[in-house]
Amino acid sequence: MGRSLRSEVFLASEVCIVHAVQRCVRRAFLAGVDEKTGRDYSHRKEWIRRRLEALASTLGVDVLTYAIMSNHLHVILRNRPDVVATWSDEEVATRWLKVFPGRRIEEQLAAPSETDVKALVSNPEQLLKIRERLSDISWFMRALAEPIARMANNQEKCTGRFWEGRFKAQRIVDETGLLACSMYVDLNPIRAAMAQSLEQALHTSAYDRLEGQRGQEIDSAAFDLVVLSNEEAGGFHKNKTLAQQKAELKKHGRHVNRKSGRRIRRDGWLAPLTLAKDVLSNDPQAHHDGLRASDRGFLRIEWTDYVSLLRWTAKDSSHDVDGTDHENAQNVLSRIGIDGDMWRDVVWNFKKYFGQSSCAGKTDAMAEHANQHGKRWRRGQRHLPSSLVAN
> Does residue 169 sit in the same domain as residue 65?
yes
Among 215, 232, 257, give the residue marking a domain's end: 257
> Does residue 94 sit in the same domain as residue 119?
yes
> What is the CATH classification number for the domain harbouring 328?
3.30.70.1290
> Does residue 253 sit in the same domain as residue 264?
no
d(CA 11, CA 5): 11
> Does residue 234 sit in the same domain as residue 377?
no
> Does residue 107 sit in the same domain as residue 181?
no
Judging by beta carbons within 10 Å of its beta carbon (0-12, 13-18, 19+), is residue 280 exposed, middle or buried?
exposed
Residue 140: phi, psi to the nearest 5?
-60, -50
Over the chain (391 residues), what is each successive 10-residue block's mean pLDDT?
71 93 92 87 96 97 98 97 97 95 55 89 96 96 96 91 92 93 97 94 98 96 87 60 61 51 93 89 92 96 92 74 75 80 88 88 82 64 58 49
> Does residue 184 sit in the same domain as residue 100?
no
Q: Is residue 267 part of a domain?
A: yes
Q: Which whole-number Å values give the CA distances from 276 to 17, 64, 140, 232, 295, in the listed order?
A: 18, 15, 26, 43, 9
- Closest-CA residue to 362 (of 391, 390, 382): 390
Range of the domain at 43: 6-80+135-223+258-388
Its pTM stands at 0.89
- Closest-CA residue to 58 (of 135, 138, 146, 142): 135
> Does residue 215 sit in the same domain as residue 347?
yes
> What is the model's pLDDT at position 320?
63
Q: Is residue 148 part of a domain?
A: yes
> Does residue 100 sit in the same domain as residue 145?
no
> Does residue 164 sit in the same domain as residue 236?
no
> Does residue 27 sit in the same domain as residue 173?
yes
> Does residue 231 sit in the same domain as residue 375?
no
Beta carbons of 130 and 83 less than 8 angstroms apart: no
Q: Is residue 1 part of a domain?
A: no
Q: Is residue 57 part of a domain?
A: yes
> Does residue 28 sit in the same domain as residue 130?
no
Look at the chain and report how many structural domains it folds into.
Answer: 2
Among 215, 233, 257, give the residue marking a domain's end: 257
Among 257, 280, 307, give the residue marking a domain's end: 257
> What is the model's pLDDT at position 219?
95
